[in-house]
Amino acid sequence: MDPYVYTELQQANDIRLLDLYPGAYNEPLSGTLRPVSLDQDNDFEAISYVWGPDVKDCAIEIEGWRINITSSLNSALKRLRLQDKTRTLWADALCINQTDNEEKSRQVRLMAQIYGKAARVLAYLGDDADGSERAQPLIERMASRILFDKGPEGALARQALKADDLSPVAALVRRPWFQRAWIIQEFVIAKDVQMFFGSSELHWKIFYQAIDNTFSFDELSLVRKESDRDKRALTSSGAIAFSTLDMGRDKSFTSLLELFDLFQDKQATRARDHLFALLSLACDGEDSGFDPDYIESLGSIVRRYAAVFVRRGETFTLLATAGLGPRPSLYPSWIPDWTTKRSTRFSPGVGSSTATYGAAGATELCARYDRDADELIMRGILFDQVDKIITLSHRPLDYLPLNEERDQASYLEKCDAAVQALPSYPTGDSLFDVQWRTLIGDRTEDGSELNEEDRDRMRQSYLSCRENLKVRLPNYADNRIETKDFLTGADGYDFESAAFYGMASHVTMCVTKGGYIGLVPKNAIEGDWISVLHGCPVPFVLRKSTERDGDIFQLVQKVYVHGIMSGELLLDDRVKEQEIRLH
């Protein structure tokens, strides 16, 4: 059978639909492809599935011609095919000419209309595996409202599920479908979604309610063996991913830059699809600067997207998630790598990601992208340089052996020594207050600015937890202790947990050449510059480039420096503003 030859779509809003002919599961697939306009009413369903490996070892007959397809699409079509009548479907790998990059680029822009106009989306999670044939009745029981009954019926229902083996449900949630980048728009935009796995099918609301209930009832824990840490992590990731999708159906769409950050852990077969898959969900995704392109190089696409964000005044949001990472990047340091999950970024204040500052005062953002030089040009202040960095163990702060707890105490002692070595603080604050306020980013637990009552409470909490370190540490010579319990200070404020949360987020204390104290990311080095960029509420660490001549810098990350977080530098006549170029 000769290969099928696609005919060109004539109008901008034209798509192809697959009329899938009826047949039994094991019979060969056959059907026809026909062009239709999205401007007209069309009765069809859209398929959401995982592409899997790009090995097209199966085929479907289209009007006497052959189109090779992947085994995953082959399984989906066979499962969804009806036995007694034709079913009209839209499946991207068939309905888009995959050999025509220009057509692919145009069709991606129509995805929102396609999934929005489909009568429903058919989410195919894959064939039966890992006991999934037993999952449907379990899911239906897990979604039951009786679980919330406070009487004996609810208790019996919960205990019965606790006694059951829920591993088939856990295995289902771990399937790749939940982690795909493209399914975000396919699920969120759809009028309705029916979920298929093997011979089973469920309405998405039942599936969602069951997964959501696992967060409410300990009896519904999907992975019960403490030793199954990998399974637990993957199951939790899938459950959270599904919860996030459901939230998307109820909320107004946000900006593309925010979506990149929200869904950074999603997976895609092609790196560029991390960018294209979210366009239909973004409130600003229609900008022509975001047009998909399957011919342009990935590096060029990423820079094109970044240039749009700069042009639209989103430079700070861009910089806040960018910076030098542990591995070399293909992009300038001021552009995040949106094609992969990024390492944790320090977010001053330490205790909350919602803390706000005003380091740049009332200055307006001044930024432009020099495409020829591949540099971001901004206005700002090169304020000071990092002189000393306080080192700390890089191990996580979950359950720590005593010698690591001693490392924590040693770290605080090193902070003491560094701070007390200063003759005074440039702002006139007491060195003691500078130290404890810096450790928590000078903010409350919820990120609010400290008032006098907060300061008194936290100062006392700091004193209390330091005394606890002295008194309690020798008593735990042969035990492992939980850091959270160990580090609780007075008045219920978990001071050291807040401080060490920042350390766990790749931050440590530093002293600048001008005698300022701050919190910098752990990849900062001595000699790095502290900068305040116009229009940016927090300072940044910059590093003089070794790759380019002149005063060209690379972005490291955000930083907290005590005494310059509220626009103080803008009031100092001795401070000079200048052009700052980043690459």
Give pLDDT, residue 188.
Answer: 86
Give pLDDT, residue 470.
Answer: 67
Residues 146 and 238 in one domain: yes
DSSP annotation of 270: S
Residue 96 domain-assigned (yes or no): yes
Residues 448 and 472 in one domain: yes
Q: What is the largest CA-CA distance in the chain?
A: 87
Residue 48 domain-assigned (yes or no): yes
Give pLDDT, residue 403.
Answer: 47
Give pLDDT, residue 325.
Answer: 79
Residues 6+ apart with CB under 8 A from 383: 514, 529, 530, 531, 532, 539, 561, 564, 569, 575
Residues 476 and 552 in one domain: yes
Residues 400 and 421 in one domain: yes
Strands in 29-37's sheet, in edge-to-edge order, are 65-69, 58-62, 29-37, 14-20, 87-90, 45-48, 121-124, 193-197, 200-203
Element (H, E) at 176: none
Report the phi/psi class of residue 195: left, alpha or beta, with left for phi > 0 and alpha for psi in -120 to 50.
Answer: beta
Give pLDDT, residue 80.
Answer: 98
Give pLDDT, residue 183.
Answer: 85
Give pLDDT, residue 214.
Answer: 83
The answer to whether residues 360 and 534 touch, using CB atoms and an 8 Å cutoff, is yes
Give pLDDT, residue 476.
Answer: 38
- Residue 370, classed as helix, strand or coil, is strand
Q: Give which of 8, 76, 74 is closest to 45, Cα–Cα.
A: 76
Residues 94 and 155 in one domain: no
Give pLDDT, residue 484.
Answer: 40
For 84-131, the pLDDT digits (tens) are: 999 999 999 999 999 999 999 999 999 999 999 999 999 999 999 999
Q: How far apart are CA 500 and CA 351, in angstroms?
A: 9
Residue 274 domain-assigned (yes or no): no
For 449-485, the pLDDT digits (tens) are: 888 988 888 888 778 777 766 665 554 333 333 444 4
Give pLDDT, residue 239.
Answer: 65
The answer to whether residues 238 and 232 touch, using CB atoms and an 8 Å cutoff, is no
Residues 468 and 575 in one domain: yes
Residue 290 domain-assigned (yes or no): no
Q: Give which of 200, 313, 203, 201 is closest to 255, Cα–Cα.
A: 313
Report, as ranges of residue numbers, the positions in the chain whose pLDDT lies below 50: 350-354, 394-403, 475-493, 500-504
Residue 299 domain-assigned (yes or no): no
- Which of 63, 97, 124 is where one domain is finished? 124
Give pLDDT, residue 86.
Answer: 98
Residue 72 C-alpha from the chain's centroid:
27
Residues 79 and 141 in one domain: no
Element (H, E) at 409: helix 402-420
Residues 377 and 481 in one domain: yes
Give pLDDT, residue 404.
Answer: 56
Residues 136 and 114 in one domain: no
Q: How many domains does the chain have?
A: 3
Question: Residues of 398-409 as b/e, b for ≥16 C-beta within 10 angstroms?
Answer: eebebebbeebe
DSSP per position, 446-512: TSPBP-HHHHHHHHHHHHHHHHHHHHHGGGGTT--EEHHHHT--GGG--HHHHHHHHHHTTEEEEEE
Residue 506 domain-assigned (yes or no): yes
Residues 440 and 575 in one domain: yes
Q: How far apart are CA 388 and CA 232, in angstroms?
A: 40
Give pLDDT, residue 408.
Answer: 66
Q: Give which of 260, 172, 250 is closest to 211, Cα–Cα.
A: 172
Give pLDDT, residue 397.
Answer: 39
Give pLDDT, residue 126.
Answer: 94
Residue 471 domain-assigned (yes or no): yes
Q: How far apart are CA 435 and CA 270, in angstroms?
A: 47
Q: How far apart are CA 122 and CA 195, in angstroms?
A: 6
- Which of 212, 247, 282 is where one domain is finished? 247
349 preceded by a cis bond (ω within 30 of 0): yes
Residues 138 and 109 in one domain: no
The answer to whether residues 115 and 46 touch, using CB atoms and an 8 Å cutoff, is yes
Q: Domain span at residue 28? A: 14-124
Residues 427 and 524 in one domain: yes
Residue 182 domain-assigned (yes or no): no
Encoding tokens for residue 147?
A: 């679980």
- Which of 215, 247, 279 is where one domain is finished? 247
Pairing between strand 65-69 and 529-533? unpaired
Q: How far is CA 282 from CA 244, 291, 313, 480, 503, in A?
A: 15, 13, 16, 47, 34
